[in-house]
Amino acid sequence: MINHLAIIVDGNGRWAKNRGLSRSEGHKAGAQRLDEIISYLSEKKLVNYLSLYVFSTENFERPKEEVNYLMQLFMNWFKKVQKIYKDKNIKILFSGDKTLLNKQIVNATEELETKTKNNDGLVVNFCLSYGSRREIVAATKKIINDQVSPEDIDESLFSHYLYQDLPDIDFLIRTSGEMRLSNFMLWQASYAELYFPQTLFPDFTVAELNKAIEEYKSRDRRFGKVK
């Protein structure tokens, strides 16, 4: 059983380009795939936590139309799934810098968090407007503001000050063949098993996901010890 699975959603743009479609079409197809994966993992109870990297702080540097399209897509999606996820017992969390987002999307995310906060099934952590270094700096500032004394600071206290207090990532998948973290959960992924399929995210089916999970099962996690 994987406790915490993370997916860096990548390759929507290339998927669209290969088909002569706009990047927006790629993002739309990616969102559908993501919805399918969330429902599948929740139904089959394959993981307890799922973190999804869907928009980085660096992604704000993309053309305005693409950023606007993505924000609209997220907003419509968050509104659409409110009731569905509530009924499916899925609990939604968000990680990211809300000050960079507009009011409507912040409202939509908060509404979704509130509506699903009493659910105790799959926890889905959306990393939106997310950057790991920014998160670590923000946590440090909060610790200083709370006047925590240095002797009380340990790894568990530090985790508590991050956007969400989540268990370590066990398995991290990045689609599209890129082999980098791009500022994603550097703290939480420190001992994660990494997996980089060539598949572009809109083609990342449930069958591909199961293949990845099988690969995870064959990994030997030693955590520095001799086994």
Q: Measured from the CB of residue 139, what is the shortest distance to ligand IPE in angstroms?
A: 20
* Active site residues per annotation: 10, 59
Q: 112, 106, 67, 79: which is closest to 93 by C-alpha? A: 112
Q: Which of 80, 157, 178, 219 binds ligand IPE (CB under 6 A)?
A: 178
Other C-beta atoms within 10 Å of 44: how many?
A: 11
Q: Would you say 39 and 14 are in contact if contact means Cβ atoms under 8 Å apart?
A: no
Q: Token match 């700096």: residue?
A: 137
- Residue whose CB is nearest to ligand IPE in the complex, by number: 13
Q: How many residues does the chain have?
A: 227
Q: 80, 102, 89, 83: which is closest to 41 by C-alpha? A: 89
Q: Please choose, out of 34-42, 83-91, 160-168, 176-184, the segment that lies near ligand IPE by the rule CB under 6 A.
A: 176-184
Nearer to Mg ion, 173 or 213 (CB): 173
- Residue whose CB is nearest to Mg ion in the complex, by number: 10
Q: Which of 22, 48, 182, 205 binds ligand IPE (CB under 6 A)?
A: 182
Nearer to ligand IPE, 107 or 182 (CB): 182
The answer to whether residue 131 forms part of the interface with ligand IPE (CB under 6 A) is no
Q: Measured from the CB of residue 41, what is the shortest distance to ligand IPE in angstroms?
A: 18
Q: Would you say 61 and 132 are in contact if contact means Cβ atoms under 8 Å apart?
A: no
Which residues have CB under 8 Å from 6's CB, separation 6+? 50, 51, 52, 53, 169, 171, 172, 173, 184, 185, 188, 189, 192
Q: Which of 22, 39, 48, 59 binds ligand IPE (CB under 6 A)?
A: 59
Footprint of ligand IPE (CB under 6 A): 8-14, 53-56, 59, 70, 176, 178, 180, 182
